[in-house]
Copies of this chain bind each other. A is one copy, B any other.
Amino acid sequence: MSAKAATGMDRRTGVALWRQIADQIRQGIGAGHFGEGGRLPPETALAERFGVNRHTVRGAIAALVQEGVLRAEQGRGTFVEKRKRLSYPIARRTRFSEGLRDQAQERRGHLLDHAHEAAEPRVAAALGLDADAPVLRVETMSEADGRPVSRATSWFDAARFEGIAEAIAETGSVTLAYRRHGVEDYFRQSTIVSARHADAVDLAALRLAPGAIVLVAVAVNVDTEGRPIQFSETRFAADRVELAVAE
């Protein structure tokens, strides 16, 4: 059995060898194979292990250095840049900033865009509105310690929450924006979690490398009377975040 077959490297998949190797190394780091602040084996050893030329391994390392995952020092070696994943809690009372309070110094939300539109079927169903009812679509992004964490698309009943986009922009907080519209408290009604490759827009907004993965949380928030107030789809950078389900 050849080394290539053994390591799962394949050349007819449309994915370059250096990228497959970069993905394996990134995964190995996540699995803790190189220890805390660990050192990678020399390029020659990695090349032998993966059954490729040293230059190909160098391509993989260069990509991971660019991503900020590795740091290469001439004459010394290649080292893991240690950054731990943020743990984002999903519970009945889910709020962005509070959940990450102990894990990051700075937490910020940005309003990227907003627009009026007619509700798509899934939006109308989630908000309990008629099809094509007027809704407000709001695009936001969140950062922790200067690193993009998530990007969300939210829909609100336009009749009830006119001007909420401006309130989010001013306060940088959905919770505070709700207050201005008479919602003192709210709850998470449902959350559906899936995962996929990031699309071009999210890649740019979250500053991710091509082929990166996003965790997708589709959620409905309700007020204290159980009326739906927000339908949202949030994309989290999967290499920076994990979701902690509270039960």
Q: Give 1 or 0 for each of A7-24: 1 = CB within 8 Å of chain B CB.
A: 110100111101110111
| Interface range, A side | 35 or more
The stretch among A126-134, A137-145, A188-196 that forms the contact with chain B is A188-196
**A18–B12 alpha-carbon span in the complex (Å):** 11
A200 proximal to B (CB < 8 A): yes
Contacts of A45 in B (CB 8 A): none
Give the secondary structure class of A's interface.
mixed
Q: Which residue among A190, A196, A200, A247 has the maximum number of chain B CB atoms within 10 Å of its CB?
A: A247
Q: What are some 16 contacts across the A-B interface (CB < 8 A)?
A: A13-B210, A13-B211, A14-B15, A14-B16, A14-B22, A27-B196, A27-B197, A87-B192, A90-B247, A92-B247, A192-B242, A193-B245, A195-B195, A196-B213, A211-B211, A213-B213
